[in-house]
Amino acid sequence: MQDWWRGSVTYQVYPRSFQDSDGDGIGDLPGITARLDHLARLGVDAVWLSPIFRSPMADMGYDVADYTDVDPLFGTLQDFDTLVARAHELGLKVIIDQVISHSSDQHPFFQNSRSSRDAERADWYVWADARPDGSPPNNWLSVFGGSAWEWDSRRRQYYLHNFLPSQPDFNFHNPAVQDWALSVLRFWLDRGVDGFRLDTVNYYFHDRDLRSNGPLPRTDNRPPVNPYELQDHEYSKSRPENLSWLARMRALLDEYPDRTMVGEVGDAPHRNVKIMAEYTRPGRLHMAYSFDMLGPEFTAAHFREKIEGFFAGAPDGWPMWAFSNHDVPRHVTRWQDHGKPDALARQTAALLLSMEGSICLYQGEELGQLETELEFDELTDPPGIRFWPDYKGRDGCRTPMVWDGSEQGGFTSGHPWLPIKPPQAARHVAGQEADATSVLAFYRQMLAFRRATPALRTARTRFFDLAEPVLAFSRGDDLACVFNLSGQPVTLTAQGLLAKTPSQAASLTRDRLTLGANGFCFLQPEDGPVMLAP
């Protein structure tokens, strides 16, 4: 199906935490394969696997030591092939992470590069001499804290790492690096994957002149937890050379039918929409994965601004929206001040699945899963350990999937790599299967509604001008989506019919639409277009 990705819904699986099949406490590919029926019944179009490649796991697989093999923790290449075949039998596409902006320092290429300035791959990573006083070549900072430069005593130079020192950045100014990266993509395309989620897609290129970054304008005089947030990273990422590289990757994917690329775009708010627009123009990425809705903001103005802003800047582009992923606190916890957990989980599902663009759900989201509160000695995430307690890292959203009420939630017969605590254990698949009013049941209804409603997949969006806390927009001419983003009831004047679709705390009497706490509904035209007013 051509352009199957447009308006699609992808389910992100964090492999370590989805299903363990061998009792070692870590999820694996056979475990994922055994649970694909759950995703098919849920009603998603595709599954995205976070990294499964050979890795020392310093950053849980985002530090790759071999790009064309599966880490033994997760299984084998044959296990991967079996997963893809089963997914395709169930009508599910398979998207895999590609972490090619940087590698592990254990990768043979980096071992060769650091051995000598005359080595075969000496220029495959970003190296720079020290300043006369021995300090790094510029002020670039690592996302995970401290300088983005690490001294190497063998080369007597600094190398660039935008993340951990054990994650050196490739030098994409070197054409040989680009050619090699394309060969990696081709390897997995030939194995039958349907696309790639490109990690840190705007980090591939750095400023050749190594100019220092300037400060990011701030209104808060209190220093942030992580000083990375003080800089405007104009020179260390999002460089213009990236555009021609995206075109090279797109040309490769165009050789294969029905494949897609979605790039993870993260930059300062004043630059993010512009980058998403540039990256999704024809001949580049199919989709840009946005961070704009992964923060604390939960207002009608915020959601409207981000959706309108994207399509104004990229009328020919296509976004992928998400509320949760493996890097941020789960959204039901993040937005807990705006409603009770189950009501908020249903409302946010309806809101996300009504948005123009493609959608990404994170594992456990369909259960209304909550962020896990962990103690310091339970952490595995490097930035969480470094910045504790003001930043607790990403482990809280990565705890294992809970399948039933048995010990360890049906995830493993062993000891899970992260603990399953009582608030999470209470939200399991088996328990919600039997409840027609559960969050899981609602996700299935809402996904079926989106699938059966072409307007929700591809029609354009027009917002109604209503005051907070109401967010309302039409999708095409046939459907209006109305949300009360508060815990207090609101009443609107309305013209239209209450659609026989998923709704919550909504009633329409004559021309009065009442939405209770976290209420929402979908309206269809009656004698004319749907009208809404205060």
**Token couple for 362:** 């994170």
Q: Which residues contact 235 (CB under 8 A, 6 or more apart)?
A: 138, 140, 206, 207, 209, 210, 211, 212, 213
Measured CA to CA, the distance from residue 427 to residue 20 in angstroms comes to 18
**Token couple for 44:** 């998603």
∠ at Cα 242 (236, 248), nearest 5°? Answer: 150
3-state helix, strand, coil in the chain (%, to 5): 30, 20, 50
In terms of Cα–Cα distance, which of 36, 163, 34, 177 is closest to 113?
A: 177
Measured CA to CA, the distance from residue 174 to residue 164 in angstroms comes to 22
Measured CA to CA, the distance from residue 134 to residue 271 in angstroms comes to 33
In terms of Cα–Cα distance, which of 459, 370, 469 is closest to 420?
A: 370
In terms of Cα–Cα distance, which of 384, 441, 464, 468 is closest to 418?
A: 384
Judge whether 465 and 500 are in contact, CB under 8 Å: no
In terms of Cα–Cα distance, which of 336, 335, 140 is closest to 239?
A: 140
Encode 316-350: b = buried (16+ Cβ within 10 Å), e = exposed: ebbbbbbbbbbbbbbbbbbbbebbebbbbbbbbbb
Residue reference for tokens 């199957």 = 4
**What is residue 80's three-state secondary structure?**
helix
∠ at Cα 305 (250, 330), nearest 5°? Answer: 75
**Active site residues per annotation:** 199, 255
Residue reference for tokens 């639409």 = 513
CA distances 502 to 76, 353, 432, 447, Å, are 41, 11, 17, 10
Helix extents (H) in 90-174: 108-115
CA distances 235 to 59, 100, 138, 312, Å, are 24, 19, 10, 26
Q: Which residues contact 381 (CB under 8 A, 6 or more apart)?
A: 60, 393, 394, 395, 398
